[in-house]
Amino acid sequence: MEGNVARARRRQEKSKRVEAQQIVFSGVERVTLESARREFNLGPDDVLIQTQYSLVSVGTELAKLSGLEGVEYPFAPGNRAIGKVIALGEDVADARIGDIVFCHTPHVSHTLAKRLRIRVPPEVDIRASALVGLALVAMTALRVGQVELGDRVAVIGLGLVGNLAAQLLQLAGADVIVIDLNAGRLAKAQACGLTQGINPREDDTQAAVMELTRGQGVDIVVEASGTAQAAELAVSLTGRSGEGIVVLLGSPRQGYETDLTRFLNHVHLWRNGSVTLRGAHEWRYPLQHSPFQKHSMARNAEIIFRLMAQDKLRTKPLITHILKPTAAAEAFAGLRNKPDTYMGVLFDWTGRAQGARLL
């Protein structure tokens, strides 16, 4: 009986109340910051975090804010954050109070990190570490594309995911060409060590790729812009008689009309490239490491953190704005209307966190 009483007391102690803030899409193109007292009842495996920084996943969140991707409002955006562990469930073994962890959580000051939590190494800058979530997406291009040393690879679209994918491909030994309509993003790619850039506004993309590859085309194209038009371009950039691969890393959301027969001939006819289409997404891999499967999100995150710590994966040029949650409406307006200057946007919850208290 005494054991049951003690266990019930421990469970009661795992109920935490906080004054929390959360960014909310209250309707189409409407961004608000809401405050409320919240109670968290920690289960045995739950971890309560106090968010330090959360990263905007631009394409996904703007699609939901604009109504392009249907959601039910009010909607809580965000799914990648860095937080400080402030409470633990009684069975948690992979985290300690005070740990800084990456987790898939929304833009909110306090929340439970349930599915995946990866400890951030102390040698990695905490703000840069917030990019690990999108680097996990980018990593799938390398895995799915089965890139080998010396492969010629083109990456279309240099948002955060595209830039990080291009860097990871180059670190894996590929000869990388980057393509984007935005001169500012090409400049950021240059700052990240990606020196072969093409702007379709200024050059014929196919001709430029052939010139850079001495007429051979690329072995692999990573389409990271999330547009069907770019996917159509991608299939035309591989070698004419090779076994080219196009990795669809972006998420198309808008309709597009084209001659599908011409597109399919790049897949079917060997003189058009015999292209193979492959989809890539971070959730194709299990969350945790298993001795029976090489790749997992946890293992990929550990690799990315190691590359960050060694300054091989460059993140400093990618973080363009660090804003308080009170500036959320400004942040999303900038991402939509000023893509040349707004790219990597972090919400800084640290000031809010210092003033927060457990109740």
Residue 21: pLDDT over 90 = yes
Residue 23: pLDDT over 90 = yes
- Position 12 scores a pLDDT of 47
pLDDT tens for residues 296-323? Answer: 999 999 999 999 999 999 999 999 999 9
Could you tell me if residue 110 is inside a domain?
Answer: yes
Residues 24 and 109 placed together within one structural domain of the fold:
yes
Residues 127 and 141 placed together within one structural domain of the fold:
no
Could you tell me if residue 306 is inside a domain?
Answer: no
Q: Which of 258, 283, 308 is the last residue of a domain?
A: 283
- The whole-angstrom separation of Cα 204 and Cα 211 is 11
Residues 77 and 169 placed together within one structural domain of the fold:
no
Tell me what percent of the residues of the chain surpass a pLDDT of 90. Answer: 74
- The whole-angstrom separation of Cα 72 and Cα 78 is 15
DSSP symbol at 125: -
Are 199 and 180 in contact, with CB atoms under 8 Å apart? Answer: yes
Residues 334 and 230 placed together within one structural domain of the fold:
no
Q: What is the number of domains present in the chain?
A: 2
Could you tell me if residue 116 is inside a domain?
Answer: yes
* pTM of the shown model: 0.91
The DSSP string of 243-305 is --EEEE-S---S-----HHHHHHHHH-GGGT--EEEE--GGGS-SS-BTTBS--HHHHHHHHH
Residue with the larger pLDDT of the pair 1 and 228: 228
Residues 164 and 275 placed together within one structural domain of the fold:
yes
Could you tell me if residue 296 is inside a domain?
Answer: no
CATH number at residue 172: 3.40.50.720
Residues 227 and 349 placed together within one structural domain of the fold:
no
Could you tell me if residue 13 is inside a domain?
Answer: yes
Residues 174 and 253 placed together within one structural domain of the fold:
yes
Residues 215 and 90 placed together within one structural domain of the fold:
no
Could you tell me if residue 68 is inside a domain?
Answer: yes
- The whole-angstrom separation of Cα 175 and Cα 191 is 17
Residue with the larger pLDDT of the pair 187 and 239: 187
Q: Which residues of 80-95 are buried (b: 16+ CB within 10 A; e: fewer)?
A: bbbbbbbbbbeebeeb
Q: Which of 283, 299, 326 is the last residue of a domain?
A: 283
Q: What is the CA radius of gyration of the chain?
A: 22
Residue 7: pLDDT over 80 = no
Range 118-137 average pLDDT: 96
Could you tell me if residue 153 is inside a domain?
Answer: yes
Residues 64 and 166 placed together within one structural domain of the fold:
no
pLDDT tens for residues 155-205? Answer: 999 999 999 999 999 999 999 999 999 999 999 999 999 999 999 999 999
Bridge partners (DSSP) of residue 117 are 103
Residues 68 and 175 placed together within one structural domain of the fold:
no
CATH number at residue 93: 3.90.180.10
Residue 5: pLDDT over 80 = no
- The whole-angstrom separation of Cα 84 and Cα 75 is 24
- Position 355 scores a pLDDT of 35
pLDDT-based confidence at residue 242 (cuts at 50, 70, 90): low
Residue with the larger pLDDT of the pair 329 and 5: 329
Tell me what percent of the residues of the chain surpass a pLDDT of 70. Answer: 92
pLDDT tens for residues 273-282? Answer: 688 899 998 8
Residues 126 and 239 placed together within one structural domain of the fold:
no
Q: Which domain holds residue 276?
A: 134-283
Residues 36 and 112 placed together within one structural domain of the fold:
yes
Could you tell me if residue 301 is inside a domain?
Answer: no
Cβ count near 307 (within 10 Å): 18
Q: Which of 268, 283, 298 is the last residue of a domain?
A: 283
